[in-house]
């Protein structure tokens, strides 16, 4: 095996396109220089499209969680009540952040592997009328579920004044996102998932209504105080030294998305989801989620007759192929395959072919090629045979 060849099919970090890799190694420039200011200004139009917003998209230096924390500290304070919709580990993360700031958390727990229902959110809000913000996860990376974020704000607004705050880290950039049209008050994402960049940048945008709340909040902290970032952006700058190299990479990544065209980017992700699911179905290996809840960017598989972690080990040693295991209560029980960002249907055919060999190697009886053929069929059905 080529020791330097690896196949990264985990739901983040994800592979980096060669042109982004090159951009990342451009010579450093001063973060207060004209060049960096110009670069910084030029990033906004692309980010607006990714978020589906006309609001400023603020760029933080930190992993995705820094922006989740920013969403919390900027909108609510100790003693305030919030509702956190927990569909998996990343819902738990919002709970953890809120509790760290002594915010009173009401949980809406949803069975892991399924999406939440907006009617249940409305019920919870009626029970807890003092809730100031509802926290939700767009793609729950730990289960491969895409939640009905398109419907959430409208449902919340019907029964409550609460802000709707959404973690879109593992799908924004890969699935259609219309923050403004959907009425999302705060949307967060990170660099290392669908945006084809290394970890290290987090992005956050807020609605007019959310900004009013943020500006009135006296406890915004220091590093994550979004008012500072908004003021910075007005001067095409940041309050603290940004990860300049990652901004070079972001510039290139946004251009790649633009060149491919957003509708095609979204269609590519949908195709990869369908190919992956068809392959496992045809091999009779259960999927964790139903078709309706399944994410475009990550597929969770729940084996019932082989050891998920032993399978992952074989793939790693045989091919340098990394797929993810379960998190939290699903540890050791599921496999998670990332198909987002710099990943194509061609990559998935290769990944599925490698996985079939891995299955045979751990002793699962399958008909070689069956999963790949199912994926090929999906490809041809969706893309045409001519
Ligand atoms: C990856 C991810 C995050 C951010 O995690 P970091 O390790 O802080 O980058 C947050 N939410 C979701 C849904 C994610 O998939």
CA-closest candidate to residue 187, choices 132, 245, 226: 226
What CATH number does residue 337 fall under? 3.90.1150.10
Residues 265 and 224 in one domain: no
CA 280 – CA 381 distance, rounded (Å): 17
Mean pLDDT across 272-300 = 98
Asked whether 65 lines ligand 1 (CB < 6 A), one says yes
Whether 2 is covered by a domain: the verdict is no
Is the same domain home to 277 and 325? yes
pLDDT in tens, 67-90: 999 999 999 999 999 999 999 999
For the cut 90, the answer to whether the pLDDT of residue 278 exceeds it is: yes
Residue 39 in this model has a pLDDT that exceeds 90: yes
The answer on 332 and 190 residing in a single domain is: no
Calculate mean pLDDT across residues 130-137.
98
Take residue 294 and report the two structure tokens written for it.
């399944």
- For residue 358, tell me if it sits in a domain: yes
CB neighbourhood size of 304 (10 A): 8
Domain boundary among 207, 242, 258: 258
Last residue of a domain, one of 258, 276, 299: 258
Residue with structure tokens 């980010």? 47
HEC string for 310-342: HHHHHHHHHHCEECEECCHHHCCCCEEEECCCC
- Beta strand 7-8 with 335-338: parallel, antiparallel or unpaired? unpaired
Please say if the pLDDT value at position 311 is more than 90. Answer: yes
Same domain (yes/no): 234, 333: no
Return the ligand 1 atom nearest residue 68 CA: 10
Asked which of 258, 284, 313 is the last residue of a domain, the reply is 258
The CB of 50 under 6 Å from ligand 1? The reply is no
Whether residues 299 and 215 share a domain: the answer is: no
Residues 85 and 181 in one domain: yes
Sequence-ordered list of residues with C-beta below 8 angstroms from that of 76, at least 6 positions apart, any chain: 82, 98, 101, 103, 132, 133, 217
Q: Check whether residue 216 and residue 269 sit in a common domain.
A: no
Q: What does the pLDDT read at residue 3?
A: 84
Which atom of ligand 1 lies nearest, measured to the CA of 12? 1
Residue 6 has pLDDT above 90, yes or no: yes
Q: What is the model's pLDDT at position 2?
A: 86
Residues in the chain: 386
Domain count, the chain: 2
Atom of ligand 1 nearest to the CA of 137: 13
> What is the Cα–Cα distance from 1 to 314, expressed in whole angstroms?
13
Q: Are residues 92 and 143 located together in one domain of the fold? A: yes
1 within some domain? no
Q: Give the model's pLDDT for residue 111.
A: 98
Residue 190 near ligand 1, beta carbon < 6 Å: yes
Ligand 1 centroid to Cα of residue 150, in Å, is 20
Is the pLDDT score of 1 beyond 90? no
Statement: residue 215 has pLDDT above 80: yes
pLDDT band of residue 258 (cuts 50, 70, 90) is: very high
Residue 325 CA to residue 322 CA, distance in Å, equals 10
Question: Residues 247, 268: one domain?
Answer: no
Q: Are residue 251 and residue 270 in the same domain, yes or no?
A: no
In a domain, 328, yes or no: yes
Residue 386 has a pLDDT of 87
Q: How far is CA 2 from CA 5, 301, 319, 351, in A?
A: 5, 28, 9, 16
Question: What rounded mean pLDDT belongs to the chain?
Answer: 97
Domain that holds residue 97: 18-258
Q: Do residues 189 and 45 both lie within one domain?
A: yes
């Amino acid at each position: 095996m080529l020791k330097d060849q690896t196949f990264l099919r985990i739901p983040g970090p994800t592979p980096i396109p060669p042109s982004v890799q090159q951009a990342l190694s451009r010579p450093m420039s001063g973060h207060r220089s004209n060049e960096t200011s110009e670069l910084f200004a030029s990033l906004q139009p692309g980010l607006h499209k990714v978020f589906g917003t006309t609001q400023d998209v603020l760029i933080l230096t930190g992993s995705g969680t820094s922006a989740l924390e920013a969403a919390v500290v900027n909108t609510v304070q100790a003693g305030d009540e919030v509702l956190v919709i927990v569909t998996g580990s990343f819902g738990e993360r919002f709970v953890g952040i809120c509790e760290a700031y002594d915010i009173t958390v009401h949980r809406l727990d949803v069975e892991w592997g399924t999406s939440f229902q907006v009617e249940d959110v409305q019920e919870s809000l009626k029970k807890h009328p003092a809730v100031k913000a509802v926290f939700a996860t767009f793609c729950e990376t730990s289960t491969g579920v895409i939640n009905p974020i398109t419907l959430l704000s409208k449902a919340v607004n019907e029964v409550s004044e609460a802000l709707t705050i959404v973690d879109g880290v593992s799908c924004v950039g890969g699935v259609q996102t219309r923050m403004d049209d959907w009425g999302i008050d705060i949307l967060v994402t990170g660099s290392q998932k669908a945006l084809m960049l290394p970890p290290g940048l987090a992005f956050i945008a807020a609605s007019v209504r959310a900004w009013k709340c943020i500006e009135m909040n006296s406890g915004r902290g220091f590093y994550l105080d979004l008012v500072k970032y908004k003021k910075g952006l007005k001067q095409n700058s940041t309050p603290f030294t940004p990860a300049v190299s990652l901004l070079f990479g972001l510039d290139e990544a946004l251009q790649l998305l633009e060149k491919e065209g957003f509708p095609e980017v979204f269609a590519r992700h949908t195709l990869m989801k369908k190919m992956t699911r068809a392959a496992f179905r045809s091999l009779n290996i259960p999927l964790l989620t139903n078709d309706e809840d399944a994410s475009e960017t990550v597929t969770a598989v729940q084996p019932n007759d082989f050891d998920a972690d032993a399978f992952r080990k074989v793939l790693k040693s045989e091919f340098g192929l990394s797929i993810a295991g379960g998190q939290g209560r699903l540890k050791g029980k599921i496999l998670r395959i990332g198909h987002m960002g710099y990943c194509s249907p061609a990559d998935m055919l290769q990944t599925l072919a490698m996985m079939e060999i891995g299955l045979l190697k751990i002793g699962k009886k399958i008909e070689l090629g069956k999963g790949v053929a199912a994926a090929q069929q999906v490809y041809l059905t969706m893309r045409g045979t001519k």
